[in-house]
Chain A
C-alpha cells in the first residue's frame, strides 16, 4: 500500500512530502494510535519599530518545526520538535505513543494513505516577493510617526509593523493532506500626550490577512488623526464615577465584549472543561432577541480569515446565535470527539508547538436597524465607550475589559470625556441586556490568547446598547 522507497529523509517545503508523511502516519497507526496528525510549519517573520523620527528596531526571524498529535480514544498526546528529519518525526510519534501508554493494539485503525494534495499555497507563493521591503516599511512608518506630531503635548510617538508569513503542511490519518501559506500584516500607532499633571494615551491597530499590498494602501494620515484626536480628547478627562449604568459600545473593537463575554464560552474547549454556562443551552434563548452573532473565517482579507484551519478543514460561517437563540458551538477535532459538536473549521494554534484547539476567527454581532444616534438618544444617564482596550474572561464566566476612550451620556447627548473605566460582568447576565444593535457593523483586528497560544482574530459589531452593566472607576 505504501511506498517502501522513501524519497526524502527530511521535510522539504519545496517538494512533495507525501511518501514521508504517509510513512510517519502509518508508523503511528501501526503502533496503535486511533488517529495521527502532523502539522509542519516554516515561518518567515519581520517586525519594524519607529519611535519619534527614527527606526529603532528591525527584527527578522525564521524557523521550522512540527507538532505531532496522536489520539487514542478521547485522550491525546502532543509532541513538538524542531527536528524535521524522518528520524526526528518518528521519534516524536514514538514519544506520543509512549505518553499515551499505548501497549496493546487489538483494534488497529486503518490508514489508507493520504488523499489528493489540496494545495492552497499555489497562488500565494509570490506573496513573499510582493510584501513591502524593510526599507519601504521603514519609510512609511516614519511618515506615520511624523504625522502624529501635531502639537507639543504629544510627547511620545510610535509606529510598529509586523509581518508573519507561515507556510504549513497538514497531514493526518483520515487522509487529510493540505498545504497553505498564510500572510498576516499588522501596523499600529501609539502616542502619549501630557500637559502638566495630565497624561493620556491613544492607540489604534490595523491588520489584514492574505493581502500583501495592504500596508501600502493603509491610510496613515487618517489613522494618525484618529489617534491624535483620541489622545487630546482624553488628556484632561476626569475619572469616571463607578456604578451600574447603561452603556453604548462603539462598533469595530467594541466587539471585544462579545468576544470575551460570550465567544470564549461557545468554544468546545469550555464544554470539555465544564466551564461554560451555555453547555446545555443549544436552541435556547441566551441573548436578547436583537442579537445575532456569527463566527467565520472566510471574509476576504480579515485578520482572522483562513483558507484552511490548522487541522486541514476549510473554515465555515457559523451562526452562533440567531435572534437570541444559541445555534452552534465553535469546534475543532478534539471538541467534536469529546463533545459531539461538529467541527467548524476553527482548529487553530499559534504555531507548531501548540496543539490546535477550538478558537474564534472573525467574530461579530450582526447589524441591526438603529443608528448610533438612536442608541445614544435612548439613554438619559450612561456611558459611551468609543474605544476599547483589552479584556479577559475568567473560569466562571466573569469578564472584564478596559475602556480607552469614554464619554458620559446625559439626556441623550454625548458630554464630557471620562477615563479609567472598566466594564465587568457575567456573560449569562449581560447577553440578554444587549437591547439595541446599530446598522453600522465594522470589524477590527486583534490578538486572542488562550489554550493554543496567541492567534489573529477580528472582533466586530455595530454600535450596541447594553441596558445595564457594572462600570468600574473611582
Chain B
C-alpha cells in the first residue's frame, strides 16, 4: 500500500469502528550500510522498515495511541482497536487536538533526487577510505569504527480532518574513527562524520583528512592539573551542550517541571547580549531537515535566545494552547507528545558589548583548554538541575604549545556557563547537528589526573 492507500484504509477501518477522529504518522524506509575491517567486508546490512503510529479520539475526546510495523489491513484494524482501548486511559487533564497548522503550506527544500548506489559501491568506497586513512600516518593502525550508509525514506502525516502531507528523502552518512598506537603510549582514537543527501554528496576525502588529523593531534598527550580554566568550545561541543540543556526552551519540559525555565522565563537574561540562538530545522545545511513535525505542523525557524535573553519556547499543539501561542513545529507523535529541537544555529549578534574579541582559537597565545568533543552526555548531564560533568577530547594550549589532554572531565552549571561567555568568534562552522562559532567561557572546572 502507498501512503494514500493507507490513509484510505485507516479512514474506512476507523469508520467501521465508529471512530470519527483520528490521525497518523508513518515512515517507510530502505537502508543500506557497510562496515569494513582491514580491507575486508565485515558486515553488510540492508533493511526495509515501516512504522505506523495511530491516534484516535473517543467520544469523550480522550486520545489513545498504538504503534505498529504491521501495515496490513488486519494490522491497521488491530491498531485502531488497541488505540481505542488505550483512549479509555487518555489524559483528562491535558487535551490533545489536531494542530491548527496541519493544513498550512509546508516548505520542502528542493534537492536533486538521489538513487541508491548499492552495497558493492558502498563497500568499494569504504574500503578505499579505510586504506587511505591507515596510510595517512604510520601510527594509525586501524579504523575500528567505520561505516558508510544510505537511506531512502518517506514520512507521512494525515488526519480525519483532511490534512495529508508527505515527503520523500534520501540521506547518506560516513563515519571513520581511527585508532593510533605508539610504543610505550596509550592508544588514541578520534574520528569524523560526514552527512549528505546521497553518497555522491559525501566529502569522503575531507572525512579521511579530518579523522587522520584529529587522531594524530592526540598522539602527544599529557594529563592536566585539576583547576579552573579558560575554555574554548568547538562549534560541535557547544551545540552538544546547548542540545543537552534544550529543556530550558522546551514548553513540555516546563509543564513537566523538569526545566530550569518556567512559564514566565521569556525575557530572562541568560547570557551576554552578543549571543543569539535559533532553532532552524529547514536550514539549508541541515541534511536531516523535515518540512513538518509529528503533528503535521510546518517546520520553521524560531529564535530561542535573542541578545542573551530567552525569546521563545518550542511547542507542540497542546503546550502551545496552554501557553496561548501557536505550535512551532517541534512535536513528536505519541500518547504524550514530546517536544524537541531540530537544528541549533548559534550566532554572534550585531552587538559586541564587552566581548574579549582578542580570544581567537587560531592565534590566542595565552593558556586555555580547547574542548573538541564532549562525551557520555547521557550519563553526565543533569538537565533538570542544570549541572554537567562530562569527559571530553581536547587540548591544553600553553606557552604557545598545544598538547592533547589525556583524560579529563569538564564540570559546571549551564547557567553559569552561559553567563560566563567571554567571546563569540565571528565565523560559524557547520556540524552534523547545527551551526555555531567557537565560544569562549571563563572559569570552568577541569578534573585531570594531576
Query: Is B67's CB within 8 Å of the partner chain A?
Result: yes
Q: Interface 1/0s, chain B 163-187, versus A by CB < 8 A?
A: 0000000000000010100000011
Q: How far is the CA of A192 from the CA of B259 in the complex (A)?
A: 11
Interface string of A378-396 (1 = CB under 8 A from B): 0000000000011110111
Residue pair B142, A390 in contact (C-beta under 8 Å): no
Asked if A151 is at the interface of the complex by the 8 Å CB criterion, the answer is no
Give the docked Cα–Cα distance between A134 and B87 (Å): 11
What secondary structure prevails in chain A residues at the interface with B?
Answer: strand
Cβ contact within 8 Å between B48 and A101: no
Inter-chain contact A274/B378, CB cutoff 8 Å: no
Given A54-B92, A83-B48, A401-B379, also A419-B387 (CB < 8 A): yes
A99, B44: Cβ atoms closer than 8 Å: yes
From A64, A420, A474, name the one whose CB has the most chain B CB atoms within 10 angstroms.
A474
Pairwise interchain contact A398-B391, C-beta atoms closer than 8 A? yes
Assess whether B78 is in contact with A244, with CB atoms less than 8 Å apart.
no
How many angstroms from the CA of A394 to the CA of B379 in the assembled complex?
Answer: 13
Interface size bracket, B side: 35 or more
B360, CB-defined interface residue at 8 Å = no
A49 within 8 A of B: yes
Please provide the chain B residues from 4 to 50 with a CB less than 8 Å away from any CB of chain A in the complex: 37, 40-50
The stretch among A70-78, A161-169, A303-311 that forms the contact with chain B is: A70-78
Per-position 1/0 for A315-335, Cβ under 8 A of B? 000000000000000000000
Check: A13 CB closer than 8 A to any chain B CB.
no
Task: Return chain A residues, CB-CB under 8 Å to B69.
Answer: 63-65, 82
CA distance A422 to B71 in the complex (A): 45
**By the criterion of a CB under 8 Å from any partner CB, how many residues of chain A are at the interface?**
74
Q: In the complex the two chains form, is B391's CB within 8 Å of A56's CB?
A: no
Inside 8 A of B336's CB, which chain A residues have their CB? Answer: 49, 56-57
| A473-B445 in contact given A77-B45, A392-B378 (Cβ < 8 Å) | yes
The residue in B44, B68, B83 that gathers the most chain A C-beta atoms within 10 A of its C-beta is B44
- In angstroms, how far is the closest chain A Cβ from the Cβ of B327? 19
| A window 224-267: CB within 8 A of B | 239, 242-244
A392 to B92, CA, bound (A): 39
B59 at the interface (CB under 8 A from A): no
Measured in the bound complex, the distance between the Cα atoms of B85 and A284 in whole Å is 58
A369, CB-defined interface residue at 8 Å: no
Q: Is the CB of A242 within 8 A of B445?
A: yes
Provide the residues of chain B in CB contact with A132, threshold 8 Å: none
Q: CB-CB contacts of B390-419 with A at 8 A, as 1s and 0s?
A: 110000000000000001110110000000
**Is A426 within 8 A of B379, CB to CB?**
no
Nearest A residue to B180 via CB reads A396
Residues of B contacting A60 with CB < 8 Å?
65-67, 82-83, 85-86
Alpha-carbon distance A425/B409, docked complex (angstroms): 11
A134 contact set on B, CB distance < 8 A: 85-86, 89
Q: Give complex CA distance A470, B411 in Å.
A: 13
Given A51-B256, A134-B86, A422-B409, check contact A396 B189 (CB 8 Å).
yes
What's the Cα separation between A156 and B385 when bound, in Å?
Answer: 13
- Ordered by A's residue number, 25 sampled pairs between the chains whose C-beta atoms are within 8 Å are A55-B91, A57-B335, A60-B83, A61-B67, A62-B68, A62-B70, A62-B78, A74-B40, A75-B41, A75-B44, A76-B42, A80-B46, A82-B50, A138-B89, A242-B226, A273-B145, A392-B375, A395-B145, A396-B189, A398-B407, A422-B390, A424-B409, A424-B447, A473-B389, A473-B411
The 5 closest A-B pairs by CB, nearest first: A472-B409, A63-B69, A242-B447, A273-B144, A57-B336
